[in-house]
Structure 1
Amino acid sequence: MSLRDYERKRRFDRTPEPRPEGSATGAGRELFVVQLHHARRRHYDFRLQVGGVLKSWACPKGPSYDPAVKRLAVEVEDHPVSYAAFQGDIPDGYGAGHVDTFDTGVWSAFGDPEEQLQKGHLRFELFGNRLKGRWHLVRSHRAEKKPAWFLIKGKDAYASKVEADDLLDTAMVESTRRAAGKSGGAKEVAEKLKRTKRKAAPTVRHRRASPATWVAKIPGARKQAMPSGFFKPELATLREAPPPGDLWLNEVKWDGYRILTTIEKGEVELWSRNGLPWTEKLPEMRQAIEDLGLASGRLDGELIAINDGRPDFNALQQTLSGERASPLLYMLFDMPYLEGFDLSRAALVDRKSALERLLDGAPPQLRYSTHVVGQGEQVFQNASENQLEGIMCKRADSPYRSGRGDDWLKVKRLESDEFAVVGYTAAKGSRKGFGSLLLAKPAPDGDWIYMGRVGSGFSDEMLRDLTRSLARSGTRVPSIKHTGEAPRDAHWIPPTAVAEVFYRGIGNQGLLRQPSLKTMRLDKSPADLRNGDRDTTRRTPARKNAKRATRSEAITITHPDREVYPGEGITKQDVADYYRAVMDWFLPGVLNRPTSVIRWPNGIGKPSFFQKHIPTGGLKHVGSARLKEETGASAVYLYPESADSIIELVQFNAIEFHPWGAHVDNPDCADRVVFDLDPGEDVSWTRVKAAARLMRQLLDQLGLECFLRTTGGKGLHVVVPLKPASPWKIVKQFAQSFAQVLESMHPLEFIAVSSKARRAGKIYVDYLRNGRGATAVASYSLRGRPGAPVAMPLRWSELGKLKSASQFNIKTAVARLKRQRSDPWEGIDKVRQSLGAVIKALSS
């Protein structure tokens, strides 16, 4: 997908249409837009966001709700995502004419949309104000100048005889009337519209008795007005095993996001478990719940995405962030209020019975979460065999209580822990390499205790890599003292690798029960396990320091072979491996700081997304904090709180990390000042290095110690630590004053304004990175530039030999760290200096 044709066909000094660069937002769900375009021939432009662009078709007669009607849709060039908001007049030239927004919303595909488009049949669903339900785009096999498709309505509850022209509002009717003499086809439509009464978009409502006729009969129901707004959910307590007996209802533990629904006077509102509004993020769920026709109610459930028949949290995140368009389901499991009756004191089994009755025949996005009475062990075993996250066990007679208690219990499918690999067994049958890996944990006497072997969970690639690295030099002599029930044909090796393994408890002989490989921990060594640095799914306490936080869990990297740096062979997995390799050095610079990331879902050759707020759907391992911006508005910012945060963001296609100069626990004050020395055209690298030295000298005269960093781009960063931290107003005032003084002292060398026209031959001293909400690239962050350069901290003594700002890259940076005995910025957090006296000196 490329916007090259879009840009080639337009003169942006003459048209108000948006430029392609920086137009994709990636902030939420994949959207669709239909625009009524009075060009040379009146037509509808049908556009679907796929990745970072709008795939576009010109549909002369517009969409039809009649499944028997095939509407021609001619494929045209991709448009930028920002085009979805465009309305107005395009002047003479390509596409001249007036553009109105006919409809917009979000959409989902039944499968991979890019793959379906390539095959010539896209099946999808629209959630707009005018266009709803299931649709098809089918490629025509006729030879045409441009690829021809047919837009066809699916056979669903919305199907009718309604046409796009029937749904025009007054403004769009007037646009058609005005264009009657200018746009082909508009005159005929204008005449038709005079005779046609406006219609509403088809809706779906249940045609059955209102719940009000039976809700009063629910045991424990009380007639009571429903409190307005968000209600706090009931929460579950973690347990190791399901409780026995028929007093418990056992349900699937869905791997998704908890969503609460309130319905007041027919108005549907959706909420996260923490009370954040989600209504606009989930229009299909709002629409589906509206179709229930309720006046009042409270619903509780889990939002999930299904992939290959199972809930898939990665697919859910990618759909909510706009990276894919998977169908979503709302699995409902409780209903504490319905149609004027408080059901919170009714027994759970009765609430669920009423919920099941309510959802009978409901829209397909709403699903009832079934349960089994008793049989907890069997239900848990079935969930484990189907690779579900676990089960929920709920007291059948319990009321609905907000907060955490013992009425609801959660039992996760598997434990996991980390073990040293101390050997292997020979491969049998068709398997190549080895049969299983032998595992051990640290013993109190300093040796190792054999814990069993793991032979499942390996991919073919893993088998090949592990065979090359581990299964070469094994001997029959045990490499550990406590061999226990080890197999007789074991080949032993020294503890050199760490495996993270799922298992179902410890057996009587002290061996792992039913182990399965979760991942190989390339970021750890057996020495880490001996020092107590192990990650477990149930027993690990909360991380309390940066050293502990640098150890990341095995977050699955989807599409690991996707090339992130085109033509260079650097994949998404390579990016994740890089950040794991440099984590101990990288994490302290971003830990607990509001951080903006730049994401490239389709590689650096395609559009990028700038992300500073928590995306729709949230993130499991990334912190969030509501912070004020310079404008006075507030928003929920993301911040890394562990190594898992970084790897999850990489999984989210982040490459670059740009933190604030402040921490989330003190966002009003900056503890870093960053000056970016950005060279203009024709500025030699020697001059840039001299400029950094001069800046250091002047800062030293002011009594301020500073540190040096390459940017991975063209210039250098000079960083001034502050302790105690200073208010942003003071920091920005200092940074601006210092830059202006530098320019006044050396006007031929420096410039303190960002005007590109004036920067030729000079070095721009960018002080604007020191306002509240402004960011600078983090030390050790990759850059989304050819060659995968890295922003690298340096000692001042290294500046002389530095060849360029992009000297270090994804490979050489790791090699440097392996040689590095100490941090070039060692002690930066211990430097005590402030700006009070300095500002007075600069102002005088």
Structure 2
Amino acid sequence: MALDRYHERRDFAATPEPRDEGQPSDVGLRYSIQNHDATRLHWDLRLEWQGVLLSWAITRGPSLNPSDKRLAVRTEDHPLSYLRFEGQIPSGQYGAGTVMLWDLGWWQPLEPAARGLSKGHLRFRIHGRRLTGDWNLVRMKGRKTGDSKRENWLLIKSDDEAAHRADPVETYRTSIATGRDFAAISAEKAPRLRDRTGTRPRPVPVQLATLTEDLADSGSHWHELKLDGYRMQAALGKGGTRIWTRNGHDWTDRFADLVPAFDDLDCKSALIDGEIVAGAGLQGFSALQDAIAAGGPFGFVAFDLIQLDGKDLSKRPLTERRRALEQLFSPLPPMGALDLSPVIDGDPQEALDLICGSGGEGVIAKRRDAPYRGGRSRDWLKIKCRHRGEFVIVGWQASSSRARPFASLAVAARRGRDLVYMGKVGTGFDEDAMADLAARMAPLKRAKPPVQAPKAEARGVTWIDPRLVAEVNYAETTGQGRLRHAVFLGLREDKPARQVQVEEPVATDREDIAGIALSSGDRVIFPDAKVTKADLARYYRDIAPLMLPEVQDRPLSLVRLPDGLTGQRFFQKHPGKGFPDALKTVPIAESDGETHPYAYGSDAAGLVAAVQMGTVEFHIWGARRDRLDRPDRLVFDLDPDEGLSFATTRRAALDLRDRLADLGLECWAMLSGGKGVHLVVPLRRSVGWDTAKLFARGVATLAATAQPDRFTAEMSKARRKDRIFIDWLRNERGSTSVAPFSVRARPGAPVACPVTWDELSRLRRPAPFSLQEACTRGWADVAPPPPQGLTQKVIVALDRALKSV
């Protein structure tokens, strides 16, 4: 027998260790570690498998460093009842000493466990309160020793998210169950339970998401994974942790196995919003139903913090509540019983496709700046991969098989106040589910149907009072309002039947601008100028005829501000997956030999599509995609040091214009939208980048050498003191400069605007043009010169000028 050696070694009249075999888990595989202060201090690893606890004695305890290989001596199998044992084994008994329950949870084989045990390499994942993540047990080579056939193994942590954290052996020195240390356990002192000092909050109405078919704007919203469990609020404070359903029912007893995990959160009181799911690697609503019946395993995925230490956080924006939640959860090991709902980085469409492809539920989009509001609103949106919802069971269809209590369920939902028949659900039941449903439905039988149903569909149905709520997965709703390919997932007891409404997706708030569906158009990008995302999109649509002659077919770099002017910004050179189709791409080989995609625009739709993804500024190459090796413009960016007046910069631009004219080149001027002025020389595409860059550097050097107190050609901040930096580095392959008529990501929403030389001599401010003013301008006023060549004559003229100074 598997437990013979365990029983042979113990005198159960003298030791408090359990004798009975215990009951196996019907859902997951349980795990524990007991810290054993015997002849030698060690940690006993217990893994439930085939009705017993496989056991290893870890001499130095588990390590989270993947480079550490801890000796784990295989010992006799223990009964399942030993999993939670804690106490004092008397002197003279086998294993005499103090046993502390050090960790508790569930484990998950990452490959067939029988094969791993046989070949001597068991790969598994731990879902405990103190240890989490992936681990390896590796059997050492060599013959077995002694009469016990002892095997030496190595316990090694995998290099994952749970690795490289604080040493658990040093961190945790008390019981996971009672809070006692070795001395208190040996003295049989009462358990030291955590008692919080703050008043435990009452649950509040939960915030609900509105069903929609489109992803939200990633600038105003973030996206999280749609979870597949029970929505719950965890209330922490005096008297212990309580778990409440979204309708205010206390379900703490149903999730008693999860409650101790909240003791690890360091706070006086809290109200946490989240979802309880099946734990230990189990997935899906059906798995959660099985876990509830078995008493676990459970996991709690938190996504909002409503109250903390007596402070109401509900009126603060989601971003602040999330920061507070992350700080509260930061000491916990990842992948444990308590975890945070991950915020999806990157393109939400790509994430949704991946989630749907792997059989997930969908995503929840949450407005970043919104407070926590009870009830359903558009601050939270849900986008589902497949249709799924709650429906009221109104009857059952008799089965032709005596072994089955029914063939299908008749279901309905409310549309307003009316209960509407939605068809039948005929799959998704196992024997236990059918027996449970039949027992629940039998006392609810009634003579008349509670809902109007066509005679053909009502034939053979036994009707019941509409009290039971089923969670159903289905392909679609037919034109007659029936569910197609409906699958029963389980009963929902957290929502009364009277609240079950037909859920239909709402139309998203999108405005069509230049053929692009713009979402979240009312989001404010520039608070001081009161410019919204829609205002910005309309501007680029209207300015396109002026902007495109200089922008069209040039590789672009984009300055994106997903959260508006006050949020994070980033400079994007390479399009990623999910880039809008209206922004086309061209592959370009870079200096490292790698080829990468670049975006380019060809029409107003491309500009607006960039705004839809959070773009404010457009920066352009000095060449077009058909001849990337031949620049068609030179740019001299006059960048004044802090404290220099615009009048100084204006005079410098006029003087540099004259120097270029002396060399035989004409240019036009553009206010950059910041402090500086750009001088642009249109070029014939007759020379390469090296020549253009060398010429631009020569012009800047000429000005700096002639007037060193006024100009510098070096980027160094130290050399720029009280001078104007003539930035000639814009004129090399891959460098960019801000596009004409581009809005700048600066207070006031200034525009980089071309100006005439007469205008420039009269202007008193460096960024005077608003969006509205820029749209009234035209290229005819600026009259840019035609393309010119960097001819031998021009280059010789520059060489002579340099030698003269």
Q: TM-score interval w.r.t. the shorter chain?
A: 0.3 to 0.5
**Could you tell me the TM-score, scaled by structure 1's length?**
0.41
TM-score with structure 2 length normalisation? 0.43
Q: Indicate the structure (1 or 2) with the bigger Cα radius of gyration.
A: 2
